[in-house]
Amino acid sequence: MAWRGWSQRSWGCGPAWAAPVGGRGCEELTTALAPPRLFGRRFTFVIQQKCGFRKAPRKVELRRSDTGTSGKAHKRSALIPPVEETAFYPSPYPIRTLIKPLFFTVGFTGCAFGSAAIWQYESLKSRVQSYFDGIKADWLDSIRPQKKGDFRKEINKWWNNLSDGQRTVTGIIAANVLVFCLWRVPSLKRTMTRYFTSNPASKVLCSPMLLSTFSHFSLIHMAANMYVLWSFSSSIVNLLGQEQFMAMYLSAGVISNFVSYVCKVATGRYGPSLGASGAIMTVLAAVCTKMPEGRLAIIFLPILTFTAGNALKAIIAMDTAGLILGWKVFDHAAHLGGALFGIWYVTYGHELIWKNREPLVKIWHEIRTDGPKKGGGSK
């Protein structure tokens, strides 16, 4: 098995500037200051000072966590969308902004694994019927005249040749491509920035934690993430199964975004993030933890190979260094959150969550099998 891609997740933050104001003379003085462009617009601040004691000028400052100084133009990463038309307002009580995302993370994770358990129950129940339907379909195909060049038949043949993992992630890749195309529609950019980028300073906090997992603004960013997901799809689905993998993947996207929220609030470095890297890091970490001796390679350096265990250690070390040193290009907190969740799930979470799903499955089985009793009499 060869790993041929690095997962990436973009990190962007707003610009900053400081505009000191000074008073002159005893008469009313109007000073107009034009600070550097903020989000693509020029703002003019008018300060009036009356005769009397001069007060110390108060600096107006916006926090910025990206590169550059206050006098230089803001440099935005090519992986994130422009946010000129979207203003973000950090809460004066930053800890409170994490309450709703915390409840959303816990609730969504529980619903994801509960739905996956019911999905698996329904899949197992329908396999027998599908088996007989398959036999009937094969018999009809044998007596039916075959059409040459049938496009639908070729699509079915290609689909049947895919592994279970590849068929599972095909829907995820299609959703990412659709969202990528929506980013190209100019009239939707404001909506896409609000709902498909995660930022604790935004008015919408919860739904972007999931939607941003399917959101990519850069073609290179999306292609790299989807290639890594495709490469690891067979291994992770063989390890967990289709239903459990989908629950873990969706939960990982939300959990990694919550870790990113916590880091942004703790450091005060607010900014939009998007991409599937947090969820993909969970998949990568889970596979590397279960198969540490597997051989991996980088897409651009296929000759250089290394073990999956060493690759995971290197990625965690790099993201830890990026988080501590304040590297601005990627959302290292989301990477670390996804990787740690993947390691925890395959080590402890599978036993703690998935193997204790039987009570829920029994309740669902009773609902599915117990119909209304005839006669209406009591026992």
- Core vs surface per residue 272-293: b (16+ CB within 10 A) or e: bbbbbbbbbbbbbbbbbbbbee
What dihedral do alpha carbons 92, 98, 104, 105 form, nearest 10°? 150
Which of 74, 221, 332, 335 is the catalytic position? 335
Residue 347 neighbours by CB under 8 Å, 6+ apart: 289
Identify whether 202 is a catalytic site residue: no
If you ran DSSP here, which 8-state letter would residue 188 be given?
A: G
> Active site includes 7?
no
Nearest to 175 by CA among 222, 141, 131, 133: 222
Facing residues of 295 across strands? 307
The whole-angstrom separation of Cα 335 and Cα 314 is 13
The SS3 call for residue 6 is coil
Half-sphere exposure of 73 (CA within 13 A, CB side): 6
- CA atoms of 336 and 282, how far apart (whole Å): 9
In which region does residue 43 sit, left (phi positive, over 0), alpha (psi from -120 to 50) or beta (all else)?
Answer: beta
Residue of 130, 277, 332, 365 marked catalytic? 277
Instruction: Point out the residues that are catalytic.
Output: 277, 335
